[in-house]
Structure 1
Amino acid sequence: MFRLLALMIMALSLGTAHAGANVVSEEVTYTDNGFEMRGYLAYDAAVDGPRPGVLVIHEWWGHNEHARAQARRLAALGYTALAVDMYGEGRLADHPDDARAFATLVRSNMQLMTKRFDAARKFLEAHERTDAGQTAAIGYCFGGSVVLEMARAGEDLAAVASFHGALATQNPAQEGQVNARVLVLHGNEDPMVPAEQVENFKQEMEAAGVDYHFVGYDGATHSFTNPQADEKARQFGMPVGYHAEADQASWEELERFLAETFGG
């Protein structure tokens, strides 16, 4: 009964988008040891006082409109959201080879990944609209793998959520090390994240005692939340595709997850 009441109260303030939402968004810059990072901040100006902050980590294409759109959606729910730049200088890839190179540079260097994530987090938590004690991170594809790695590393986050992200790791979670609640939203037809990888991830989380929730969507493949995925599939012959039902269902799952995390 208490949990239901808490969720109902949270829905009024952070749940479905406010009727009076006044989303403000702006391009911002922050630095990682002097290296310029170009982010995108969004919040609801109609909400008084600091709110929980959410970092949004982009797909392997880079800091694009997809990440920015998710930041605005989070702002409409009452959060302060920062679409992060993990590549630096707002780099974007037009071809999978470039995207793979950008993503590999970060994924293969845990120190670099952590520094860039922490630079974004520091910027978000210092903002007047953010409650620095309440921070979550969500990520898409490449970004999903990043937020999971940050959780495994013991970052002081309330929650992380991965949308169609890779689940394999060279740094498996250790018991007592993961502070964040973990949500994984996965396309069951995703050839880039096969069933064996899913099963290994679940075993990893359970062995480490992580508070995690895994949801798989039948019929959904890689990049199922991005409306531009079908175009990329045609252009480059990639096994990706948009799935409207999984996109909507996964977003609703995220809404519930964040409300439970910050409203209980």
Structure 2
Amino acid sequence: MRLFTALLLFAFAANASAAIKTQEIPYESADGTKMIGYFAYDDAKSGIRPGVLVVHEWWGLNDYAKSRARQLAELGYSALAIDMYGEGKHTDHPNDAKAFMADALKNADAAKARFQAGLDLLKKQPQTDPSKIAAIGYCFGGKVVLDMARAGLPLAGVASFHGVLATQTPAQPGAIKAKILVEHGAADTLVPAESVAAFKSEMDNAKADYKLVIQPGAKHSFTSPDADKHKGHGLDVGYDKTADQKSWADLQAFFKEIFDVKPEGA
């Protein structure tokens, strides 16, 4: 009897895991950059559902960004981790990451085109409700999604986790259409208090609908379990399980608000 029960539990777990489908999808931006998207959805869920873009850290489209797409799929969303660097490239060395990020941000129009290409790809997926799209980003990706909101892209919402908040082109009053969630670590020395204050002033002046959540004691990269291994490169970063879990719960509440639906598993 125990063996039979164990087999049933194993089969149930296997089937639950198998319901999450993932695939790599090649696509191209208007500037000719060839990119690779990582798409995830729950195959056991019928019909269309809200879509979420995931924008990677400065490391590039690595396993962490892909894992977030899978987690979103488990919550009932259609999720696409997009590629802002091209060809799916990523790195573990900060010098390479800095160069990749600088290249991706040197031309604002090109960066917007790469994001737009990912947005278009997500909307085309048969599982996605194209009228309900949000974007989340981590570190570099946080800056990207905030910049897309500043540019007035028609997104239901954007969420930044330990993202870069500074900008050279502040949002103009009435320009931001998306609701905004920012999750920031109180001990983040890479995005100092001055940047946080400037961001709040910018959002207030732009009359944006935003929420800034400060996670006590959290450093930069507080959501990434791999953050601690980068301390060897002299980076003041660190994983914070409590802040990670709290910020993820905040995101789910944010999605419930902007999509006005309750996804499975939330």
Could you say what secondary structure the match of 2:238 adopts? Answer: coil
- CA offset at residue 182 of structure 1? 0.2
Q: In the comparison of the two structures, how many residue pairs are matched? A: 245
The alignment's TM-score, normalised by the length of structure 1, stands at 0.90
Deviation string, structure 1 residues 52-99 (Cα, Å, up to 9, x no partner): 110000000000011001000100111000001000001112311110
In structure 2, what is the Cα distance between the partners aligned to 1:180 and 1:194? 25
Q: Which residue of 1 aligns with 2:146?
A: 148
In structure 2, what is the Cα distance between the partners aligned to 1:188 and 1:108? 29
Q: Which residue of 2 aligns with 1:32?
A: 29
Q: Which residue of 1 aligns with 2:239?
A: 242
In structure 2, what is the Cα distance between the partners aligned to 1:184 and 1:81? 20
Q: 2:178 aligned with 1:163, yes or no?
A: no
Letter in 1 for 2:57: E
- CA offset at residue 47 of structure 1? 1.3
Percent identical across equivalent pairs? 52
- Unpaired segments of 5 or more residues in structure 2? 1-14, 262-266
Q: 2:86 aligned with 1:88, yes or no?
A: yes
Q: Which residue of 2 aligns with 1:254?
A: 251
- CA offset at residue 20 of structure 1? 5.9
In structure 2, what is the Cα distance between the partners aligned to 1:200 and 1:207? 11
Taking the TM superposition and a 5 Å limit, the aligned residue runs for 1:40-55 are 40-55=38-53
Deviation string, structure 1 residues 142-184 (Cα, Å, up to 9, x no partner): 0000000000000010000000001110111111110000000
Taking the TM superposition and a 5 Å limit, the aligned residue runs for 1:79-118 are 79-118=77-116
The farther-off stretch of 104-113 and 165-174 is 104-113
The alignment's TM-score, normalised by the length of structure 2, stands at 0.90
In structure 1, what is the Cα distance between the partners aligned to 2:181 and 2:46? 28
Q: Which residue of 2 aligns with 1:215?
A: 213
- Select the residue among 99, 119, 128 that pairs with 1:130: 128
- CA offset at residue 135 of structure 1? 0.5
Q: 2:20 aligned with 1:23, yes or no?
A: yes
Q: Which residue of 1 aligns with 2:57?
A: 59
Could you say what secondary structure the match of 1:28 adopts? Answer: strand
The farther-off stretch of 237-246 and 31-40 is 31-40
- Unpaired segments of 5 or more residues in structure 1? 1-18
State the Cα RMSD in Å: 1.3
The runs of 4+ residues in structure 1 deviating greater than 6 Å are none
Q: 2:170 aligned with 1:172, yes or no?
A: yes
Larger Rg: 2
The farther-off stretch of 222-231 and 32-41 is 32-41
Could you say what secondary structure the match of 1:91 adopts? Answer: coil
